[in-house]
Amino acid sequence: MIFYILGILLKIIFFLSCTVLVLLIIEKAKLIFFPHLCTCYVDLSGKAILITGGNTGIGFETAKILAKRGAKLVIASRNVAKSQAAVRAIIDASGNPKVEHKPLNLKSLSSIKQFADDFNRTYGRLDVLINNAGTVEINRTSTNDQIDSTFQINHVGPTYLTQLLMDKIIASKPSRILFVSSNAHFLHNLDSNDIAGKEPMNVWVRYANTKLGNVLVSRGMSKVLPEQVTVNSLHPGTTKTEIWEQGPLFVRKVINFLMDNFMKTKEECAQTIVHLAMARSLANVSGKYFDILRAVKTHRVVTDELAQQYKDTLRLIDDRVKKFEKINTN
């Protein structure tokens, strides 16, 4: 029995290592053959930008770059102490004092609602919303809203946040919405009959499903938004961030070794996000998927028809919110 379990673990480790290695080799090859640094120097003074998960990793590097361009930045994240330290570091690096933190827990629909209500009351405009926060939860859990945690943090939560801030975004046009996705969406196995992610599946498929969800919601929203409000999704690239710091120690060591030797830097991964947030050439581009500063093809299942299934996410949110309100009024 022990040898059987050990054999399964070794197969999982081998599969993960090979997958990560292939992805990282592809990432490095793209850096060689395609320009990957955003060279559009736009003055963002007077612009208000909200970025989730801007206290660490790619989000932190993105926030630093945008702050240097003069934007007013709101970092939305759960860890208050880490976020306050990140705000100070961004201000020090950019010389821009217009950076602050607001607490947001994407694992809770009620927290998202509270955040959005506060933001809508406090801020006069929202020029760019960057849905950047994400996770990979090795041990499968569900939120209090009875949704798979990875799916809620990566997809359902950002979709709900976007909907709650939509009036502010439209009133601020020209404005932009970004969903950070991943080329991992090519590995999806999304079941539209299990949008809450209750059925068992391995961690990488669950993660891929969340990223496919972001591609779909971006494309679907682009069909209904008014002119001068754009929404796009993107693959930032693969880098060594806290998102990988889960799972058995040996698995982490293998993945970290591969990333130490093949990965992009966090600053390189921030470039496509920054480009989509401010490039004048993209002012009227919407519903596209970007990688290395360019619009690229998604998985072939991503069609306008399937993209309309993002409304399934909205219905799921509506169902969970109504249940939450009912519990609190009884």
CA distance 320 to 73: 30
CA distance 197 to 67: 37
Query: What is the rounded radius of gyration, in angstroms, for the C-alpha atoms of the chain?
Result: 19
CB 118 within 8 A of CB 100: no
CB 12 within 8 A of CB 250: no
CA distance 24 to 10: 21
CA distance 171 to 166: 8
Where would I find the H helices in 248-309? 249-262, 266-278, 304-307
Q: Which two tokens stand for residue 233?
A: 């999704």
CA distance 235 to 253: 24
CB 220 within 8 A of CB 166: no
Q: Which two tokens stand for residue 243?
A: 């998102």
Of 129, 229, 241, the C-alpha closest to 182 is 241
Is residue 207 annotated as part of the catalytic site, yes or no?
A: yes
> Which amino acid, 141?
T
List of E strands, 11-170:
48-52, 72-77, 99-103, 128-131
CA distance 312 to 82: 34
**Active-site hit among 41, 123, 160, 207:** 207
Tell me 195's DSSP state: T
Tell me the catalytic residues. 207
